[in-house]
Amino acid sequence: MKKFRILTALFVFGSFMACEQNEAIIDNVYDNNGQTGVGFTTSSTSVAVRPEGASATVGVQATTTSGSARSYDVVVNATSTGTIGDYTIGTVTIPADSYDGTLSVSFVDTNLVEGVPYTLVLDLELPAGIAVVGSKTTTINYNKYLICNDFVLVMNEDSYSDERSWDVTDAAGDVVESGDGYEYVSGGQQIVETMTLADGCYTFTIYDSYGDGQFDGATTGNYSLDCSIINVASGEGNWGASDSTEFCVNP
């Protein structure tokens, strides 16, 4: 099994190097074809809607630049669970001479129910001649703002949970919560940890001593750090030697 995991790691490293090379030449590829690609840089984001409202900004990237500003429309996907009165959607805007743009969405709390998660799923609506590069769809998870300090960490493990450890550090870099010393269980197990975090900003980091995350060649694991309906960190499969997420409690 370990030999297979070494080969997997080498394959992932090679794929990573290939991705870096592809990113370096993607502009040339699309230029040579006479085509521009546009896509969201993230597939999902989250926002808590206060009484005074809230906003979310999603990154967008193009494979070419233009001497003038460009804008593209988005449409609401039917899988969205919110209502049209919850949000106001702008347009994708990419400034002149730039590859990078944004989409801004504003939210209001009209009839949001506390403890209920909502999703706004948006699809790029690109004109003919513009290809999709990256993600065509982005999901904004939103909910009524709520006070929450009690967190639950769930780790659905691969067989090698003995390679697992994690910690939560505060804004000063001090470890305030941590866990390790888990046992090897063939086929995987579920590990649940609970913690209470004071208001403030933190970084959650999960580690794998072997370097292949929650994937052992047969079993694919995942993790999720949540406070009520609020997810602040998550990951799955081979995330390498570590995976970190910054988040704030009751911002």
Q: pLDDT of 176-195, one tens digit each? A: 999 999 999 999 999 999 99
Burial of residue 162 (CB within 10 Å: 0-12, 13-18, 19+) is: middle
Is the full-model pTM beyond 0.75? no
Strands 36-40 and 130-132: parallel
| Strand partners of residue 47 | 142
Q: Identify the CATH class of 150-249.
A: mainly beta
> What is 36-144's CATH number?
2.60.40.1740
C-beta of residue 43 within 8 angstroms of C-beta of residue 73:
no
> DSSP secondary-structure letter at 240?
T
Q: pLDDT of 111-140, one tens digit each? A: 999 999 999 999 999 999 899 998 999 999
- The residue ranges of every structural domain in the chain are 36-144, 150-249
Mean pLDDT of 221-229: 95
Going by C-alpha positions, the residue among 157, 211, 165, 164 that lies closest to residue 187 is 157
Sign of CA dihedral 97, 92, 121, 107: positive
Do 36-144 and 150-249 have matching folds?
Answer: yes
- Token digits of residue 53: 């409202």
Indicate the average pLDDT of the chain.
88
